[in-house]
Amino acid sequence: MSEVATIDPERAVRRLEQLVNAETPSGDAPRLRAAHALLRQWGDAVFARPAVEREVDGVPHLLWPAAADGPSVLLLCHLDTVFPAGTVAARPFRRTGDRATGPGIFDMKAGIVIGLEALGTLADTSRISMLVTGDEETGSVTSRALIEEEARTAAAVLVLEPSLDGALKTGRKGGSFYHLEFKGLAAHAGLEPEKGRNALSEMARWTLDLPGLARPDVGTTLTPTVATAGTANNVVPERAHLTVDVRARTLAELERVHAEVLDRQPGNGIELKVVGGINRPPLEPAASTWLLGLCREAARDLRLPLPRTASVGGASDANFTAAVGAPTLDGLGPVGDGAHAEHEWVDLSCLAPAARLLAGLVERILDDVVASAG
- In this prediction, residue 371 has a pLDDT band, given cuts at 50, 70 and 90, of confident
Q: How far is the C-alpha of 112 from the C-alpha of 105, rounded, in Å?
A: 10
pLDDT (average), residues 359-369: 95
For residue 221, pLDDT over 50 is answered with: yes
- The CA-CA-CA angle for residues 35, 146, 291, to 5°, reads 90
Q: What is the pLDDT of residue 5?
A: 62
- Tell me, what's the pLDDT at 34? 98
- Angle between helix axes 9-21 and 29-47 (nearest 10 degrees) is 160
Phi, psi values for residue 167, rounded to 5°? -90, 140
Distances (CA, A) of 37 to 42, 142, 209: 9, 21, 49
Neighbours of 189 (CB within 10 A): 16
pLDDT at residue number 70:
87
In this structure, what are the phi and psi dihedrals at residue 64, rounded to the nearest 5 degrees?
Answer: -100, 105
pLDDT digits (tens, 9 = 90+) for 343-353: 999 999 999 99
The answer to whether residue 108 scores a pLDDT higher than 50 is: yes
Average pLDDT of the chain? 96
Instruction: Give percent of the chain with pLDDT exceeding 70.
Output: 98
Does the pTM exceed 0.85? yes
CATH of domain 9-172+282-373: 3.40.630.10
Assess whether pLDDT exceeds 50 at residue 3. Answer: no
CA distance 101 to 118: 22
Q: 174-280 adopts what CATH topology?
A: Alpha-Beta Plaits (3.30.70)
Region 32-36: mean pLDDT is: 98
Please compute the mean of the pLDDT values over residues 18-28 and round it to a whole number: 98
Percentage of the chain exceeding pLDDT 90: 94
- In angstroms, the first-to-last Cα distance of the chain is 21
**Domain coordinates in residue numbering, the chain:** 9-172+282-373, 174-280
Across 296-318, average pLDDT: 95
Instruction: Assign 374 a pLDDT band (cuts: 50, 70, 90).
Output: low
Please compute, for residue 322, the number of CA atoms within 13 A of its CA located in the half-sphere on the CB side. Answer: 30
The single-letter code of the amino acid at 77 is: C
At 243, give phi and psi (nearest 5°): -110, 145
Question: Is the pLDDT confidence value at 327 over 60?
Answer: yes
52-82 pLDDT, tens digit each: 999 999 999 999 999 988 889 999 999 999 9
pLDDT tens, residue by residue, 254-285: 999 999 999 999 999 999 999 999 999 999 99
Give 36: exposed, middle or buried? Use CB within 10 Å, 0-12, 13-18, 19+. Answer: buried
